[in-house]
Structure 1
Amino acid sequence: MAQQRQAVDVVGGVDTHRDTHTAAVLDTAGCQLGLAEFPATEAGYGQLLEWMRGFGTVVKVGVEGTGSYGANLTRHLTAAGVMVVEIDRPDRKTRRWQGKSDPVDADAAARAALAGRRTGIPKDRDGQVEAVRALRVARRGAVSHRADVVKQMKALIVTAPEPVRAALSALTTARLIAVCAEVEVSAVQAGDPAVAVRLALRSLARRFQYLSSEIKDLEKVLSRLVAMVAPTLLAVNGVGADTAGQLLVSAGDNPDRLRSEAAFAMLCGVAPLPASSGRTHRYRLNRGGDRQANAALHRVVVCRLRWDPATQAYVERRTAEGKTKKEIIRCLKRYVAREIYPILTAPDTAKDLPVAA
């Protein structure tokens, strides 16, 4: 009986959370065989897989959130030789009809994996591109925080007592940081609004300087790492270390999961979407996809518009045809995606080399 049961092919689905994962198992006919909850720990991942294998041969597992709460579960299943597919969250119409709970979401993930609907191959997260992603997260947070510091300083100056406001309001950001960071003020007199504002501005200015130093250090590490991982990508006209890093992260450590350059363009949100009806045939702007990758391609286009003669000639030709500047930039972003796709997906021996210190 056990041998007969093990011969059955089954498909799993997992709804992931920070502390627990809820799993469902279906047979190939779509009949639910079981539902269970497991802790989101290494031991729990092993228990989940063994539980699924108790129903038969696990053909594939659909995991919701492979890039967040399900990242470690995905690593565990992949290492065990189980095919994992990434499941998009159900659309709003389906969710209104079915309701929302962990068992319902796990069952929906299993059914999506079984049908091959709204699924994709998850990114590998064990290579140097994952290291690039982690460093970019830290850099992006520091840049965002530094911008907030400048906003806080200027807001304080607007409402500061007149002598302070008059002395600082006309300064450029760089000069404002330098002046406020070096100001001599005693905390003993912090009860005076003017002294308190200067004390607060000094604290914020020094925070700005610290964040700037942190950003510079991270950029040095990122530049070396990106140059090691993707030297060919950096050689593309208009692609710098920041842009290359974002495109690498968007593609992942396994860019071969992108079936074609059209799929890469869709991932980056630069593939126009059909919006035809009846005798009307047209396309509309794609507002989906990875917006950070879209912004990276936009930076490449802006750079080429300024410095590349071939791009400038293309703009002149399309302008003469009646295209607007926005429409031309959208076309150029699509062309850049087509140019970069084979570079991202080409085998690169540099990815296997250690990063220089």
Structure 2
Amino acid sequence: MPDPHTSAHTQIVGGVDTHTDTHHAAALDHHGRVLGDDEFPATPDGCAQLLSWLSSFGPVTTVGVEGTGSYGKQLATLLRRNNIEVREVSRPNHGKSDAIDAINAARTTLCGDGTATPKTATGPVESIRALRIARTGAVKARPAALNELTNLITTAPTALREALRHHKGTALLTACTALQPDTTALADPTHGTMLALHTIAERITSLNQHIRHLDKHLDQLVAATAPTLIGLLGIGTDAAGQLLVTAGDNPERLHSEASFAKLCGVAPLEASSGRTDRHRLNRGGERQANRVLHIAVVVRLRYCPRTQAYLQRRTEQGLTKRDIIRCLKRYVARETHTAIMKDLALATA
């Protein structure tokens, strides 16, 4: 119930601990006083009830939500739609209760430490993210299925093994798909193995089709969303898609290109001591974004005369190749951030 001592002018800060089935919310006033906490279903109606409950204490200014990209995504979208600022709050890693979590999320939001602006996930970048997940799953499943096929052929009955062992690639898949086991005689290892090989070959063929299908649509969507980004040397569809997903549909949440570099793990860290004045590689940030920036640098070192000249000049100055690659990754991060901001501004317009 609303606190009778709160006034209509009291600004309310909320905190929400999100889960699959329920969300636990807490309300604080601008002095940090706990006004109440309650639990709501993690459904559209439950999220609306949660917002109504928070608003009953007064005008809600900001809500800290745990897991805005997963369990709290639906709630975060509703809050933004009602012009309420949403802050991403990290989940605690110690034993506690849902009520304590919600109160701590609200307090963290009130003081402004340890929070971030979440991705809106309302534009083409969210579609790219979903398609990339589907493609990555298919790409990971394919070598596992190929290994199963190879191992089964190795241990197959002699006649079957000899008939298949010299086939490679597409020919092997075609031969295995063409196998016609007698399903009434599966007690015979030959027919049992034939059915297994036939099934796995069909799975691999299907995965290949899924990957090609997703590649086609990702090529079109990424090119339409970020033509400037994909036009940069060393940035193909996969790299551009990953960098877009890292930035989100609202890359302005990163404030600057330095924020983007830090998010990608390419912001230099001080490693100076005594007479040594240097920086070192950053082991933090999103590793997939760091990976595509590294690949872009490797491509430029091979094909870009300017990058090759930079490598030679910095080597003569005494830098190691590892340090030079670190500097180049920071440069590419700056260049890609500029391209992303330009492309998404045009997409929004």
Q: Same fold (TM over 0.5)?
A: yes
Moved more, 221-230 or 328-337: 328-337
Q: Deviations over 1:9-40 (max 9, x none)?
A: 12110011111100111122222111110111
5+ residue gaps, structure 1 = none
Cα 1:276–1:63 shift into 2, 3 Å: farther
Equivalent position of 2:326 in the other structure:
330
Moved more, 232-241 or 308-317: 308-317
What is the letter of the counterpart of residue 137 of structure 1?
A: I
The question of 1:14 aligning with 2:2 is answered: no
The question of 1:72 aligning with 2:68 is answered: no
Equivalent position of 2:64 in the other structure:
62
What is the letter of the counterpart of residue 32 of structure 1?
A: V
What is the letter of the counterpart of residue 41 of structure 2?
A: P
5+ residue gaps, structure 2 = none
- CA drift of 1:275 comes to 5.0
Match of 1:154 among 142, 150, 154: 150
Q: Is the 8 A contact 1:228 1:350 kept in 2?
A: no
Tell me how far apart the structure 1 counterparts of residues 71 and 5 of structure 2 sit (CA, whole Å): 34
Tell me how far apart the structure 2 counterparts of residues 178 and 310 of structure 1 sit (CA, whole Å): 48
CA RMSD of aligned residues (A): 2.5
Alignment of 1:77-156 (within 5 A): 77-90=79-92, 92=93, 95=94, 99-156=95-152
Equivalent position of 1:228 in the other structure:
224
Equivalent position of 2:46 in the other structure:
44
Cα 1:120–1:36 shift into 2, 3 Å: same
Moved more, 164-173 or 217-226: 164-173
- CA drift of 1:195 comes to 3.2
Q: Is the 8 A contact 1:230 1:350 kept in 2?
A: no
Match of 1:308 among 289, 304, 307: 304
The question of 1:180 aligning with 2:176 is answered: yes
Q: Is the 8 A contact 1:24 1:106 kept in 2?
A: yes
Match of 1:26 among 18, 25, 28: 28
Secondary structure of the structure 1 residue equivalent to 2:328: helix
Alignment of 1:252-331 (within 5 A): 252-274=248-270, 283-331=279-327
Q: Is the 8 A contact 2:227 2:343 kept in 1?
A: no
TM-score by length of 1: 0.88
What is the letter of the counterpart of residue 105 of structure 1?
A: D
Cα 1:110–1:169 shift into 2, 3 Å: farther
Q: Is the 8 A contact 1:11 1:61 kept in 2?
A: yes
Moved more, 231-240 or 302-311: 302-311
Cα 1:304–1:323 shift into 2, 3 Å: same
Secondary structure of the structure 1 residue equivalent to 2:208: helix
Tell me how far apart the structure 2 counterparts of residues 316 and 160 of structure 1 sit (CA, whole Å): 56
